[in-house]
Structures are given as structure tokens and as C-alpha cells.
Structure 1
């Protein structure tokens, strides 16, 4: 598993790269990031000059080799795998899986990649230093800042007070009059933080901390048991159960392991997968949803099922 801190930097840097690229040379493939548009971009990227690591990532992501001469290389349920990447680009997924991030970096030609190279280059640097490194050595352009809401009021002009309040994001260089200020690439998003925002954030984190403390004395945790999650006391896991105890997540209460056989419905009429899987040794475990994106026992990434995976790892149908 990737180092959480640096992988979070990596994820946010890739998301910021998308905000740049969706207005660039490949805007027709990234804006909007539909399944067909991302597939077409994928074919373009891998026909250019893919590295060995890129090709390995492609094989791991789709479970077949890239063939630039094949016209219909990615179709059907394989095309559906771009859905998670599109959701990530649009900001609809807060914590995408590592596989999604790795493949997204290739589609955007993000540098430095893969993650191990990024970590080696950036390790030991602060976030500000990482931003400077990306801008200096990897051709990240400076982005125009968004105007403050007060800019829409004609009677109020930007004065020294406004400039002082936003000085943390404005590049400290002289600019010609009436020119928009620019800001450096912000991995946390392109918005200006105010005192009210910071206070609100502190209050929210305080409420979360209080909730966690209260749950510690209630049945506010859960633990994977056989094929589903069971609610447990946070300080009292199930006897003999070595699975991780996690905070209660109501979204996981209906998350279950499935037995997939010939008669199991695994796809919607449009081909979208409704069953997810993760390999465990020489077999695969199947689940009724993506859950939190991880196998509850092995922590491996969950992926949408394909016809190939169903045919290879299906089991016997239970007898009535």
C-alpha cells in the first residue's frame, strides 16, 4: 500500500493536472470525461510512446495486453472501467482506488510518474516545495485565480487590504495595472480560504472528534464477519475474530460477499457491472457493491467484474 501522506499529495496533484488539461490540447477527450472520450484518449496515449510501467498498468487495469492495431480494443464491460476515472476527474469520488489514480496519471501524462518516482523526487519536501518543484521542472503553468465575490460590486475596487487578505495565494511579483493576479498550483483546490472557512472547518472537526468519543462507549464500530459487517462495541471486538475493527459506516451495512455462479446477475442491461471482485491467491472474492473500495480482509482494491473474470472464477450454484 502507498504511503498515505505522499499518495494524497499525488492524488491531489493529478486532480489539479486534470483542471489544466481539460482546457488544453486534449480538451475534447477530457471535457466532459465521458466513457467514450476517456477510451479515445487512452488509445491515443498508448499509441504514442508508452513506458514499460504504463503497459504493465494497462495490463493490470484491463487484464489484457494493449494492442494498438486493434480497432475495438476496449468495449462492453471493459469500457465501464473508465467510469471511476471520470467520477474522479469530476470530483464525484473523494477517495478513488489506487488503480484509478495510477491509470488517471497516464491519461493526463502526469509527471513524475509512477507514484514511486513521484515519492522519490518529492520526499522530504513540504507541500509548497512540491508545488514549486512541479512548476519548475515539470512545466506546470500558473493558474489564474478566481475573482473575489466583491469584484462583482462596481463601487468597490481591489485595494491594498484585499491584496493583503489574499497574499497567501498571490504570487509576489510586480504586475502591470489592471492585470489579473495569478496564483501557484494549489493541491488543495482553487479557492481562497477565509477566517470563516477555517473556523467552520475547526467546528466540523470538533464535532467529528466528539462523535468518535461518544461512539467509543456505544455500539459505534463494525467488524467483518464471514460475509458481512457486524456492529460491535469499539473496545470489544468479536471473540476470535482477527479482522480490523472500524468506525460504523451505515453505507457498509448492506455490503456483502457473494457466491457468483452461472445464474448470478452481474451486469445491468447496459453492461454496467453491479458485482465487484478482488483476487485472493488463485481465486476471487465477489461483493454486491464497491463498498469502501477495499476487500475487508485483504485490503486489495475492488474492481468491477468482467465476463472473463466471471467465467474464470465463478463457483457452483447453491442447491435449493
Structure 2
């Protein structure tokens, strides 16, 4: 559970550091984190936040002075390394202080633990429903409630017998020499005919592909998916940002809406949804890893914290 708390803090930090009010944390330093805490201590703190501070400094809250705080700057070094991902410490006192400095809403840890349990319950329900649905395999039955079996094997067998009969019992035209001469005449003609048909098909396919390459060899993002376009196409009186055509992205990559019924993880706990904050500050969700189509920023795998704060709580 501690690992989930760490992951939630890092996810929260990655999202919030893009906002103006937290730009000082783009490159966190021990002194910078200390000053943020000093500013917070000038506000009215609740009992849980005071307890976090007391545990971190191992001093009663009422006895903490400005000089005392500034003499303990080294204590903030581990916090800065955590945010820079230079360390993955699991000391709960330090994690709680990070949560306080970042103003992480689901602090302290015991509060986060309750929310985490709720998310796990929702995921279990969704996964069980999906498993039950996948386990149902429809059977095709006849009117006599018997499973119909394809008759293609019987037909194929008959065709094979017929072909073998034709090959083994050729029709007698005249003498055996006349039959051999007739076969030699027919074989080249058949080969030429087959080669001609194949050539026409290949030529037509190449023509269609060439036409596609020269007309729709780029793609643009439209709404929730990529669409193939002519590289010189102008849309809405200005040239859209175009990318080289990628058939896999066009076919599979989608922006999607999520809710409490969405299956966010597979049975092994791997993410099935990725997210990013768009230029308007709103979280977007996608069905695959990759880049945000408008900004080019790398999508991030979904986490339990993001599900809780931006899906279950509908904090969009």
C-alpha cells in the first residue's frame, strides 16, 4: 500500500507542476521545499498536518521556531531527491511531508488508504463482470438442439475424389500419342492465361496503392482519432498539423471517455488506459500509450490516484 501512496504522490506532482502556482517545484531543492513548508505553517493547519510536521522533525509543533526549521534544511534533501526520482524512499514520515508540501488532498496516509480500498473494490467488480462476460461462448445449434457441423469437409472430399478420377482416368481421344500432343498444347496456353490474369491483378493493385500514396499519405487528428488526408489538404482555411500516415495509429489509437465502469487494469495489474493534461488543463484519456496528438507530450499510464481524483470524484 505504501508503494501506491508513493505512486499517487508522484502522479500528483507531475500533474500539478505544470500549473503556475507550483512552477517553483520544477527543479525542487531542499531550501526551496523548506520555504514552502514555512509558508504553509503561517496558515491555519489542522491537527493531522501538525502531526505530520511533528513526526518529521521529531519536535512538538509548538516548539518549532523559524531558526529551528532553517537549521534542518538537510532533512529536505531526501524529499527533493524523491520528487526528482533520484530515490524511491518508503519512509512514511518523509512521504507525509511531501504530501503536505504538495498539498496532496488525500493526506495523511490513512485517509489515502481508505480511498485506495474503495478503488480496489470497484476494479474487482468491473473485472469480475468482464470475466463472466468473456467466459460465455455462444453455440450455434440446429432446430433439433444439436450443434451443427460444417459440411465443407464432405464437399471437399467429393471434389478431391472427382479430381483424382479425372487425373487417373483421362478421356481417350485417339491414340496415346494424340493425347500427349493435346496436353502439351494446352499446358502453355493455361500458364499464359494464368500469368496474364495475375499480372492484371498486380498491376491494378499497384495502381490503387500508388494513388493512395500520392493522395492520402498523411494523417491529422480529428476529434478522437487520426484520419488519413492528402498532405497538401487545407482544412478550415489553414493547414492542419499533419503527420506521416501510420495505419496502425489510424486504426487503433483513440481518445476515450472513462467512468467507474471502465476497466483500467488487466488481470496482472498492467494499465489499459493512459492519460495526459491537455492545453486547457483538462485530463484526457487514451486506449494506448503514445503521444498527445496536439502537444506531442508522452501519455502516462493510469494510476489509482488519477482514477480516484479525476474519475470517481469527477474532478475534471
TM > 0.5: no
> Which has the larger helix fraction?
2
The TM-score with structure 2 as length reference comes to 0.42
Larger Rg: 2
The TM-score with structure 1 as length reference comes to 0.41
Question: Structure with the greater relative contact order (CA < 8 A, sep ≥ 6): 1 or 2?
Answer: 2
